């Protein structure tokens, strides 16, 4: 059984307050931080982003050109036609040709803007999802113990998407700035007075944007943190489906999930309320400018100060100006969400504690000598050391059993042997080399761990054993024979190609453990660490497995074995037994010797066998 539950208390998981720290950060400089984030994304995808902006500029230029064509057609086609009472066919054909050419070029601009802009957006998302997951793999298990799986899923998925969501409207917003400038220049050329009157709405728009940013940012931050909470609860519910259903707790689990999802719903509704007030203002203010232009323009036409075509052109250009204003508003509206997402993503990317590996390789082959020297380890959030002053020497090819009550440090010891965590004091050496000096590839090649809790992927038997490694079917069958799994695998409908379902649901607990053990053995490790890895296997089958391992070791073809065990028959096969009690070595020797001289050891192994007899 694992001692992890006693070694690391529940307080190790981050509280709601920890999860929502980002929601209480300084929100007064969201725009500045948002523009810095935009610059980072643009630099990373500068070529494609430039192409998307060019497409957007083409679209903007053609939109302004459309206004010019409309004004030209008003003065040179529509008015003369009304005056003469007939349509000049040549002028009409010219106007149609101009409108068509502008429409085609504008369509090309839209395609370039949307298509290439979408590629930029999805490339950034894919790149940062890879960065986050690579960081997860480089961080030590101690860091993972402090962060719920649901939160990590949210960081790699929803938070990354939120970070770069601003890049969907960004190419359009950047490109239409050129349209905005061109439109204002065209309006000034047509009528300065009408343009100045219409542009008075812009200061109001910028003031609304500033207020909007500061009001929205903390609410978006809170909603984003709740996404991690929902992911955490959902992951626990799915992962613990068997426990929930077997204990009849479906209603309680549904209520728990309902609570967090309703909190997220309410938070998103609060964000939506703010946006629902902001978006209509963005729509209304430019339209108010258009009304002012039309009202004033009618008076100027009546007084002879302006031509009807100029008023039509300026009014139309104001409808054009409203679009880039809205596009810029969309970017500004996404900035708070992007900044919050980036803070959550960067908290992973900037996390410290990556485990450094050396470059040493182990010479030779066959089983290795194991030397555990003065090993002391305690979890950062614990109030005491889990292991203290552990000294163990194991000769090559020997089998050593580690026995102890729950919480004595057995599983922690197996984690240390495979460098899932590093000790505060002492060293672990294989063939005289500190495992911290080994390269990552050499460590994985030399030492294999089979944990108590097995995990099988929704894939074939072959892929679950090889995990994509370059192993032949003969190697796989040899490993299966050693762990007494070849029989039931051969009986599966497709043999090695049989699909096992999620977490291997089509197999029994003992069958899953044997496949997990075969996964380790197919790699021919030089040190095999088994953390109660056969607890669900029938005792008779377990004996055959351990004897097969011992036979390989005797032929110098198998590993040195350290096994966490409880069954007397299993322990009796070990060359030496180490008895752990409260994190220290209480005694060591053969099974018979410990039974004879240690009452605590004798009571422990007898109690376990008695419990097994009662269960059977």
pLDDT at 123: 92
Banded model confidence at residue 8, pLDDT cuts 50, 70, 90 = very low
179: Cα within 13 Å, side-chain hemisphere: 36
**Distance in angstroms (rounded) separating the CA atoms of residues 403 and 595:** 12
- The rounded Cα 116 to chain-centroid distance in angstroms is 25
**Distance in angstroms (rounded) separating the CA atoms of residues 364 and 433:** 13
Whole-number average pLDDT of the chain: 78
Question: Nearest to residue 186, comparing CAs of 272, 63, 275, 81?
Answer: 63
At residue 6, does pLDDT exceed 50?
A: no
Beta-carbon neighbour count of residue 115 at 10 Å? Answer: 12
Per the CB < 8 A criterion, the answer to whether 327 and 314 are in contact is no
pLDDT at 125: 92
**Distance in angstroms (rounded) separating the CA atoms of residues 227 and 150:** 9
157 is written with which tokens?
Answer: 């998925």
pLDDT exceeding 70 applies to what percent of the chain?
84
Residue that is written with structure tokens 């096994």 in the block: 563
Strand pairing category for 399-404 and 560-564: parallel
Beta-carbon neighbour count of residue 585 at 10 Å? Answer: 19
Q: 113-122, 204-213, 286-295, 541-550: which has the minimum mean pLDDT?
A: 204-213
pLDDT at 27: 47
Class of the domain covering 370-454+526-615 = alpha beta
At residue 126, does pLDDT exceed 90?
A: yes
307: Cα within 13 Å, side-chain hemisphere: 11
**Distance in angstroms (rounded) separating the CA atoms of residues 142 and 585:** 24
Dump pLDDT digits (tens) for 570-603: 787 788 899 998 888 888 888 888 888 888 888 8
pLDDT exceeding 90 applies to what percent of the chain?
2
At residue 404, does pLDDT exceed 80?
A: yes
pLDDT at 124: 93
Banded model confidence at residue 338, pLDDT cuts 50, 70, 90 = confident
pLDDT at 552: 66
Per the CB < 8 A criterion, the answer to whether 142 and 324 are in contact is no
Banded model confidence at residue 127, pLDDT cuts 50, 70, 90 = very high
CATH pick for 46-349 out of 2.40.10.10, 1.20.1560.10, 3.40.309.10, 3.30.930.10: 1.20.1560.10
Cα distances (Å, whole numbers) of residue 607 to 405, 535, 565, 586 = 11, 16, 14, 18
Q: What element of type H or E holds 247?
A: none
* Order of all β-strands in the sheet with 527-531: 447-450, 527-531, 560-564, 399-404, 576-581, 584-589
Dump pLDDT digits (tens) for 22-46: 334 444 567 778 888 888 888 998 8
pLDDT at 128: 92
Banded model confidence at residue 329, pLDDT cuts 50, 70, 90 = low
pLDDT at 339: 81
pLDDT at 383: 64
At residue 11, does pLDDT exceed 50?
A: no
Beta-carbon neighbour count of residue 318 at 10 Å? Answer: 27
- The rounded Cα 18 to chain-centroid distance in angstroms is 18
512 is written with which tokens?
Answer: 């899953």
Per the CB < 8 A criterion, the answer to whether 168 and 118 are in contact is yes
2: Cα within 13 Å, side-chain hemisphere: 11
pLDDT at 210: 67
Q: 247-256, 306-315, 367-376, 605-614: which has the minimum mean pLDDT?
A: 605-614
**Distance in angstroms (rounded) separating the CA atoms of residues 319 and 479:** 73
Q: Locate CATH 3.40.50.300 in the chain.
A: 370-454+526-615
Q: Locate CATH 1.20.1560.10 in the chain.
A: 46-349
Instruction: Please measure the distance between the N-terminal and C-terminal CA atoms of the chain and give it in whole angstroms.
Output: 19
**Distance in angstroms (rounded) separating the CA atoms of residues 378 and 385:** 4
**Distance in angstroms (rounded) separating the CA atoms of residues 308 and 320:** 18
At residue 341, does pLDDT exceed 70?
A: yes
Measured torsion, CA atoms of residues 191, 192, 194, 198, in degrees rounded to the nearest 10? 130
At residue 418, does pLDDT exceed 60?
A: yes
Per the CB < 8 A criterion, the answer to whether 498 and 489 are in contact is yes
CA torsion sign, 118 to 124 to 126 to 127?
positive
Average the pLDDT over 439-458 and give the result.
84
Per the CB < 8 A criterion, the answer to whether 533 and 451 are in contact is yes
Q: What element of type H or E holds 447?
A: strand 447-450
């Amino acid at each position: 059984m694992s001692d992890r539950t006693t070694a690391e208390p529940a307080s190790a998981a981050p509280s709601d307050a920890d999860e929502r720290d980002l929601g209480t950060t300084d929100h007064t400089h969201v725009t500045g931080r948002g523009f810095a984030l935009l610059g980072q994304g643009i630099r990373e995808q500068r070529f494609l982003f430039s192409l998307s902006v060019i497409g957007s500029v083409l679209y903007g230029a053609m939109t302004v050109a459309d206004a010019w064509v409309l004004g030209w057609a008003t003065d040179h086609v529509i008015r003369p036609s009304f005056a003469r009472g007939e349509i000049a066919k040549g002028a009409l054909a010219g106007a149609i040709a101009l409108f068509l050419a502008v429409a085609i070029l504008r369509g090309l601009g839209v395609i370039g803007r949307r298509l290439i802009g979408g590629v930029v957006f999805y490339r950034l998302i894919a790149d940062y999802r890879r960065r986050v997951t690579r960081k997860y793999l480089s961080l030590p298990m101690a860091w993972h113990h402090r962060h719920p799986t649901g939160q990590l899923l949210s960081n790699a998925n929803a938070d990354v998407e939120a970070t770069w969501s601003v890049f969907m409207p960004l190419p359009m917003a950047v490109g239409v700035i050129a349209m905005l400038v061109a439109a204002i220049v065209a309006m000034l050329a047509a009528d300065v007075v009408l343009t100045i009157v219409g542009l008075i709405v812009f200061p109001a728009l910028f003031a609304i944007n500033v207020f909007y940013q500061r009001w929205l940012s903390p609410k978006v931050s809170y909603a984003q943190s709740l996404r991690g909470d929902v992911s955490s609860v959902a992951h626990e519910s799915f992962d613990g489906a068997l426990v929930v259903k077997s204990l009849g707790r479906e209603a309680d689990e549904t209520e728990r999930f309902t609570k967090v999802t309703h909190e997220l719903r309410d938070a998103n509704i609060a964000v939506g309320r703010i946006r629902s007030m902001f978006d209509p203002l963005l729509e209304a203010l430019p339209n108010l400018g258009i009304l002012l232009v039309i009202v004033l323009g009618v008076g100027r036409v009546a007084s002879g100060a302006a031509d009807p075509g100029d008023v039509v052109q300026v009014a139309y250009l104001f409808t054009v100006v409203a679009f880039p204003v809205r596009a810029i508003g969309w970017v500004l509206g996404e900035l708070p969400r992007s900044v919050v997402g980036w803070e959550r993503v960067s908290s992973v990317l900037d996390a410290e504690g990556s485990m450094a590996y050396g470059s040493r390789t182990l010479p030779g082959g066959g089983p290795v000598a194991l030397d555990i020297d003065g090993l002391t380890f305690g979890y950062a959030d614990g109030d005491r050391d889990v292991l203290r002053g552990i000294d163990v020497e194991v000769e090559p090819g020997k089998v050593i059993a580690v026995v102890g009550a729950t919480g004595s440090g057995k599983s922690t010891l197996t984690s240390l042997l495979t460098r899932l965590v590093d000790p505060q004091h002492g060293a672990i050496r294989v063939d005289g080399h500190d495992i911290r000096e080994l390269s990552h590839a050499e460590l994985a090649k030399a030492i294999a761990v089979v944990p108590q809790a097995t995990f099988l992927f929704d894939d074939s038997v072959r892929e679950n054993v090889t995990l994509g490694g370059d192993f032949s079917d003969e190697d796989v069958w040899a490993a299966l024979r050693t762990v007494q799994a070849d029989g039931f695998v051969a009986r599966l409908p497709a043999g090695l190609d049989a699909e096992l379902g999620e977490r291997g649901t089509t197999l029994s607990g003992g069958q899953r453990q044997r496949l997990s053990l075969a996964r380790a053995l197919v790699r021919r490790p030089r040190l095999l660490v088994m953390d109660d890895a056969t607890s669900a296997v029938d005792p008779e089958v377990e004996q055959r497995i351990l004897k097969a391992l011992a036979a390989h070791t005797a032929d110098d073809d198998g590993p040195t074995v350290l096994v966490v065990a409880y069954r007397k028959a299993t322990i009796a096969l070990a060359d030496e037994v180490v008895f752990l009690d409260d994190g220290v070595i209480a005694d060591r020797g053969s099974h018979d010797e410990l039974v004879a001289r240690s009452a605590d050891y004798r009571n422990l192994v007898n109690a376990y066998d008695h419990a097994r007899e009662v269960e059977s």
